Amino acid sequence: MTKYVIRGGKPLYGDVEISGAKNAAVAIIPAALLVDGVCRIENVPQISDVTLLLKILQELGADIRTVDRTTVDIDCTHIRNAKVPDGMARQIRASYYLIGALLGRFGESLVPPPGGCHLGTRPIDQHIKGFVAMGADVDVRGGYIHATARNGRLQGGQVYLDIVSVGATMNIMLAAALAQGMTIIENAAKEPHIVDLANFLNSM
């Protein structure tokens, strides 16, 4: 069995560059779907979830430009398709953020169930509860989660989360950004990456 033996008593020195938070990046990248025009995202962590999300956006029609190792420009101006490719989306848990972003922008989304998690199934019922509160119909058919705004555009609503859920809080924020009117999320999660997403949405 591998072990680490640490002999202390010596002062530490030097600089460590901290990469961006994965949990912020995997929500901020889908948030770029909400606007026409270029979003520049800096300090992007070099992880497979980020790579897959960027590839999914490219499949949908986004123009992705790598500025440097940790900076990308994302232009979703020409995206007209709300159906997410099956194979890649099933590899990552964070693909469910595409539901909220596409539903907010197009009033419709077709997204495969999320995957990529070794912790077992984690339901997205609280996400769906939020979408329904904003006037969406949500069902699963043909292997896709199909969400449609009843009047073509989501309406602001009041959502009480039965459990404090980071994913549901962020997904509802994404959907609510372009909804008509105010959405209130009660019992919301408050982690730092939720603040990061809020700041990004406000900056747009």
- Is this model's pTM higher than 0.85 or not? yes
CATH number belonging to domain 22-199: 3.65.10.10
Q: What's the pLDDT tens digit per position in 19-59?
A: 899 999 999 999 999 999 999 999 999 999 999 999 999 99
The number of beta carbons lying within 10 Å of the beta carbon of residue 150 is 13
Is the Cβ–Cβ distance between 146 and 171 less than 8 Å?
no
Confidence (pLDDT) at 120: 44
Confidence (pLDDT) at 81: 86
Helix (H) or strand (E) holding 22: helix 22-31
Confidence (pLDDT) at 17: 86
Catalytic entry in 117, 140, 182, 195: 117
Residue type, 81: N
Euclidean distance between CA atoms 114 and 121, whole angstroms: 9
Interior/surface letters 128-143, b for 16+ CB within 10 angstroms, e for the rest: bbbbebbbbebeeeee
Residue spans per domain, the chain: 22-199
Confidence (pLDDT) at 179: 97
Tens-level pLDDT at each residue, the chain (204 residues) = 799 999 999 898 999 888 899 999 999 999 999 999 999 999 999 999 999 999 999 999 999 999 999 999 999 999 988 889 888 888 888 899 999 999 999 999 999 887 654 434 457 899 999 999 999 999 988 888 999 999 899 999 999 999 999 999 999 999 999 999 999 999 999 999 999 999 999 999
Is the Cβ–Cβ distance between 139 and 150 less than 8 Å?
no
User: Is residue 76 annotated as part of the catalytic site, yes or no?
Assistant: no
